[in-house]
Amino acid sequence: MHSNNDTLKIISSQTKSSINEISVVTPSMYAAIFSKFASAHNTVLGDDNELAKNLLISECAHLTNLQNQASKSAMQLSESTSKAISAIKEKDEKLLQNVLQETQKLRLEIEKLKESVYKDTLTNVQNRKWLNDNYLKDDAQNFKDSGTLAIVDLNYFKVINDTFGHIVGDKVLIYIASELKKTRYSVVRYGGDEFIIMFSKNISAQKAKEILNELREKILSKKLKAQEELFQASFSFGVSEYEASQNFSDIIEKADKNMYEDKMLIKQRVTGI
């Protein structure tokens, strides 16, 4: 059967995740890996040129839609601002009330627009653009304020994909993301099977570890089912505090090192499928 755009997005995401650790990827290598994931989804790619054309049209339509929405919101905001200035000058209470209602409606539309730009389509958590725009202050990728973050990496995720297929793997990603959101802190899909949790300023590294340890034990106490088989899902994590103006990459590297130390310990308790 022919693929649809949603399936192709999943296949593309899986392909990009699988090549993260490969230093050099040629077009033919990428095509081979993409085809493998397409086969797992029972997807026939068909003519590459036609496929690329359709995807380009779809993506352009999406970008055009976002651009049109942003342009419309900007025009409405400009119009409301002009009305507000006029109402203040003329002390027109009725006009001010009308501007307030328009602004409240516009705010809701802008929030919806921001959601579409900042959300990871698979797991429905925040994406890296959201992280960059909200926590980093410049092109050098330095933090705006101090805080604590954790990097979270699924254990044996490749084994789950290889054993049950990538559709089950995607469901595990969605499940883990939904559990991480229960911490009530901001969750970001960093890439593949990695997430970042941005804790509030008053949460120390020790408190963050306690929160994630408790959540991990809860997840480990549950059994997931796929193809009549039961299995466990789990994650490892690394926590790092950061100060304003510290470089994001340096903090991630520190958290990543802590995560791998944690992974060595948790894998003594949790085995693959």
- Do 260 and 139 share a structural domain? yes
Q: Which of 95, 76, 94 is nearest to 85 (CA)?
A: 95
Confirm if 235 and 154 have CB atoms less than 8 A apart.
yes
Q: Which residue reads 């496929």 in tokens?
A: 51
**Cross-strand pairs, 226:** 229
pLDDT at residue 45, as a whole number:
56
Q: Which of 65, 85, 118 delimits the end of a domain? A: 118
pLDDT at residue 43, as a whole number:
61
pLDDT at residue 17, as a whole number:
65
- Do 162 and 91 share a structural domain? no
For residue 70, is it within any domain? Answer: yes
Domain count, the chain: 3
- Do 146 and 69 share a structural domain? no
CA distances from 178 to 65, 167, 170 (A): 29, 17, 12
- Do 140 and 114 share a structural domain? no
- Do 181 and 84 share a structural domain? no
Helix %, strand %, coil % of the chain (to 5): 60, 15, 25
pLDDT at residue 3, as a whole number:
47
Q: Which of 118, 143, 166 delimits the end of a domain? A: 118
For residue 241, is it within any domain? Answer: yes
- Do 140 and 75 share a structural domain? no
Which residue segment(s) compose the domain that 72 sits in?
48-118
pLDDT in tens, the chain (273 residues): 444 566 766 777 777 666 665 766 676 677 777 777 777 776 655 555 555 555 555 555 655 665 666 656 556 666 666 666 666 666 767 766 776 777 777 677 667 666 778 889 899 999 999 999 999 997 779 999 999 999 999 999 999 999 999 899 999 999 999 999 999 999 999 989 999 999 988 999 999 999 999 999 999 999 999 988 999 999 999 999 999 999 999 999 999 999 999 999 998 888 877
Q: Which residue reads 């699924």 in tokens?
A: 154
For residue 35, is it within any domain? Answer: yes
pLDDT at residue 5, as a whole number:
61
Q: Which of 67, 99, 118 delimits the end of a domain? A: 118
For residue 210, is it within any domain? Answer: yes
**Cross-strand pairs, 142:** 247
Alpha carbons 224 and 232: distance in angstroms, whole number: 6
